[in-house]
Chain A
């Protein structure tokens, strides 16, 4: 298992920036382009880069397979749970205005929660698929 030193050092240098960019895309999605879906894919891409450069076992230390597989349904539950809160307060499903005293900022909060759910499901799914392919090929 020998890898080129340029790729290894380059990967190490670029990893934190990829993760930071994913977080930026996630949390800045309200203001600029991006959101949970894109951020989830970028975060998953970071782990895949680790797997391509340092091997799959290193990647599984960064993102354990059991965690990744639990993230797949967890994100959907976060999303649907945010929607259910609205129902519990007697509003419509996915009405975020109950999440705070003032409707606009409450709806902004709801959007953040929902985007977090999308992030969790998307990154979990992408990584689970990647792991499944890698293990099948062994």
Chain B
């Protein structure tokens, strides 16, 4: 509950903050809080990812973006009524949708009845891997993980292509030659 309150406070601070440098740092704090929430929920693998990617790498990449774009947000648009209305509507629909979910932690929720029990019972026997998350991720659902890796690959290629545009023609083998300009 305390974590949730802190999350809400951080979110409001992010919305109110005009200086984008502050926003990036607050987003990092948000990620660490989220990682703590995930640890409380016993999702340690996800918490580790959230802490390392959300708070670590993406903070660095966003700071790099700020270095390219400048650190102040543009003026707020005048009319905020329509966005406010649509956001409130979507939020109401989402909350309404959660009402028909089974209560949190219910043992006989549909998600625990499908293949999850089989993974929990058989994964050590079938794969010698005690961490069931790893077994599901890399073996039972290996196809999904291959897809995820391909997504990361695609994203990396996309970022490289976008950011190197207009530079590659002059120096095809990267920019290892312009030393001394490091910040």
Question: A111 an interface residue at 8 Å Cβ cutoff?
Answer: yes
The residue on B at minimum CB distance from A25 is B48
A41's contact among B56, B139, B142, B183, by CB below 8 Å, is which? B56
Number of interface residues of B (CB under 8 A): 53
Do the beta carbons of B128 and A105 come within 8 Å of each other? yes
The residue on B at minimum CB distance from A59 is B182
Question: A94 an interface residue at 8 Å Cβ cutoff?
Answer: yes
Question: B137 an interface residue at 8 Å Cβ cutoff?
Answer: yes
Do the beta carbons of B49 and A79 come within 8 Å of each other? no
Do the beta carbons of A83 and B60 come within 8 Å of each other? no
Do the beta carbons of B127 and A108 come within 8 Å of each other? yes
Can you identify 19 A-B contacts, CB atoms within 8 angstroms? A29-B134, A30-B129, A33-B133, A35-B133, A41-B56, A45-B56, A65-B174, A76-B149, A76-B153, A79-B146, A94-B146, A111-B127, A111-B129, A121-B153, A129-B160, A130-B57, A136-B163, A136-B164, A137-B68
Do the beta carbons of A114 and B142 come within 8 Å of each other? yes
Q: What's the interface size class on A, roughly?
A: 35 or more
Q: Which residues of B contact A129 (CB under 8 A)?
A: 61, 156, 159-160
Give chain A's interface residues, CB within 8 Å of chain B.
1, 25, 29-35, 37-38, 41-42, 44-45, 48, 52, 55-57, 60, 65-66, 69, 72-73, 75-76, 79-80, 83, 93-94, 96, 103-105, 107-108, 110-111, 114-115, 117-118, 121-122, 124-126, 128-130, 132-138
Do the beta carbons of B134 and A66 come within 8 Å of each other? no
CA distance A25 to B45 in the complex (A): 10
Do the beta carbons of A41 and B160 come within 8 Å of each other? no
B135's contact among A57, A103, A111, by CB below 8 Å, is which? A111
Do the beta carbons of B149 and A118 come within 8 Å of each other? yes
Do the beta carbons of B134 and A111 come within 8 Å of each other? yes
Question: B179 an interface residue at 8 Å Cβ cutoff?
Answer: yes
Question: B44 an interface residue at 8 Å Cβ cutoff?
Answer: yes
Question: B8 an interface residue at 8 Å Cβ cutoff?
Answer: no
CA distance A52 to B57 in the complex (A): 12
Q: Which residues of A contact B152 (CB under 8 A)?
A: 121-122, 125
Question: B130 an interface residue at 8 Å Cβ cutoff?
Answer: yes
